[in-house]
Amino acid sequence: MKIAIIGGGAAGFFAAISAKENYPKATVVIFEKTQTILTKVKISGGGRCNLTNGCSNIKELSSAYPRGSNSLKKAFKTFDNRHAMQWFESRGVPLIIQDNNCVFPLSQSSQSVIDCFLEQTDKLKIKIELGIGVKTIKKFLGKLQLSFFGGKIPDRIFDKVIVATGGSPKRDGLIWLEKLNHKIEAPVPSLFTFKIADETVTELMGIVVENTLVSIQSTKLKAEGPLLITHWGMSGPAILKLSAFGARVLSEKSYEFKIQVNWTNVRDHDAVVAQLSNITVEHPKKILANIRPYSLPDRLWNYLLEKTHLPTNKKWGEIGKSGLNKLVNILTNDVYSVKGRTQFRDEFVTCGGVSLESIDFNTMQSKVCENLYFAGEIMNIDGITGGYNFQAAWTTAFIAAKLN
């Protein structure tokens, strides 16, 4: 049997290794259109490679995917994050689970993962052909015929083909699959940070608030978690989660909208009122600058006081009902205008791709082209930051490589 893997990234290598282990006598070839392999693996997690997430159950794991959640919930019963960790550790990549559940190689280097993949492909005699882009796939006598860009390489026939080319930033990059009658969901960016129009807040760059609740006005989109103020606007898990779950909505808004930041992450308005009222009673002679509710960073608290036009040297016992309301409002409903987005590091993730309607998720086989399978971000699947996108790649590649 001859098996072609299109794409030399995370899903492609995992699919190739798994396919060869399942079919030891098969010829397995990875086609990569560029001259480099495993690019995203190399840069993930700041060069440390966030391989998966250490969350404790499938329900929690699948909830991290704005698109594909229900399908992945079933797929994870076959191969989940625990299976992935066992897979890497059994092949010489010891792992460590951080406090935030992100899973990294113990070496803290993505090279450990790359070396693992290369050792496995060499050991299993999997061929890697670089600089060869697949132009078309055609059905041919029960098999699949691949033609390549450039016209210098003759067409080749394979029994099975797994497409693992990653997310395409433009629809044009998916036309070759659309021509096979696959339904395509138009790609738009996911996992991006927000550019803030109000430049004064960016003077607080570097500040992290660990517990925030951020929502997008005129939508039901909300996310909680750490928020990072940057020199261009806002980032951090809360913002990235919003960008992922709101990918299509925010694209339709041309990335111009307003966000509301609750710096306390307390949803009960009356509870915040009570907390600040207690301060006015217990510390009436203390000045506002010296008592920071909810342990907010100094610079942020002073910035918020400025926005309320309350003097930092005013005493807590002198703010009155009006001052109290101003503080409650700025802490729970601080509004910023977003004017654009920025890519999250170099880790491009797309919302969109081959529709799951065109794929049998039990096998990852195309419903419209027999012997053609899919793995990874080429499908309309994407997760939030935290190792989830790699986990989807491992899971779908593992199932696709069964070649049922």
Do 71 and 98 lie in a common domain? yes
Counting the structural domains of the chain, the total is 2
Do 350 and 334 lie in a common domain? no
Beta bridge partner(s), residue 335: 260
**For residue 303, how many other CB atoms are within 10 A of its CB?**
19
pLDDT of residue 345: 53
Q: Evaluate whether 92 touches 116 at the Cβ level (below 8 Å).
A: yes
Do 388 and 332 lie in a common domain? no
Do 90 and 171 lie in a common domain? yes
Spatial distance between the Cα atoms of 1 and 22, rounded to a whole number of angstroms: 12
Do 52 and 103 lie in a common domain? yes
The CATH number given to whatever domain includes residue 32 is 3.50.50.60
Q: Please, which residues have CB within 8 angstroms of residue 211's CB and are 6 or more apart in sequence?
A: 224, 225, 226, 264, 265, 294
Q: Please, which residues have CB within 8 angstroms of residue 270's CB and are 6 or more apart in sequence?
A: none
Token digits of residue 275: 């907390």
Token digits of residue 137: 């796939």
Among 343, 367, 384, the domain-final residue is: 343
Do 99 and 167 lie in a common domain? yes
Positive or negative CA dihedral for 325, 331, 333, 335? Answer: positive
What is the chain's pLDDT, residue by residue, as a tens digit (404 residues)?
Answer: 999 999 999 999 999 999 999 999 999 999 999 999 999 999 998 899 999 999 999 999 999 999 999 999 999 999 999 999 999 999 999 999 999 999 999 999 999 999 999 999 999 999 999 999 999 999 999 999 999 998 789 999 999 999 999 999 899 999 999 999 999 999 999 999 999 988 899 999 999 999 999 999 999 999 999 999 999 999 999 999 999 999 999 999 999 999 999 999 999 999 999 999 999 999 999 999 999 999 999 999 999 999 999 999 999 999 999 999 999 999 999 999 999 998 755 556 889 999 999 999 999 999 999 999 999 999 999 999 999 999 999 999 999 999 98
Spatial distance between the Cα atoms of 256 and 316, rounded to a whole number of angstroms: 37
Spatial distance between the Cα atoms of 211 and 223, rounded to a whole number of angstroms: 11
For residue 81, give its domain range: 2-188+345-400
Spatial distance between the Cα atoms of 217 and 379, rounded to a whole number of angstroms: 30
Among 300, 322, 343, the domain-final residue is: 343
Do 182 and 196 lie in a common domain? no
Do 310 and 230 lie in a common domain? yes
Do 232 and 267 lie in a common domain? yes
Give the residue carrying structure tokens 């960073």.
297
Do 84 and 217 lie in a common domain? no
pLDDT of residue 349: 86
Burial of 35 (0-12, 13-18, 19+ CB in 10 A): exposed
Name the DSSP letter for residue 137: E
Among 295, 313, 343, the domain-final residue is: 343
Positive or negative CA dihedral for 294, 295, 300, 304? Answer: positive
pLDDT of residue 344: 55
Spatial distance between the Cα atoms of 250 and 243, rounded to a whole number of angstroms: 8
Q: Please, which residues have CB within 8 angstroms of residue 289's CB and are 6 or more apart in sequence?
A: 301, 302, 305, 312, 313
Beta bridge partner(s), residue 209: 227
Do 228 and 158 lie in a common domain? no
Positive or negative CA dihedral for 57, 189, 71, 83? Answer: negative
Q: Please give the span between the terminal C-alpha atoms of the chain, in angstroms, as a whole number.
A: 13
Residue 293, amino acid: P
Do 241 and 309 lie in a common domain? yes
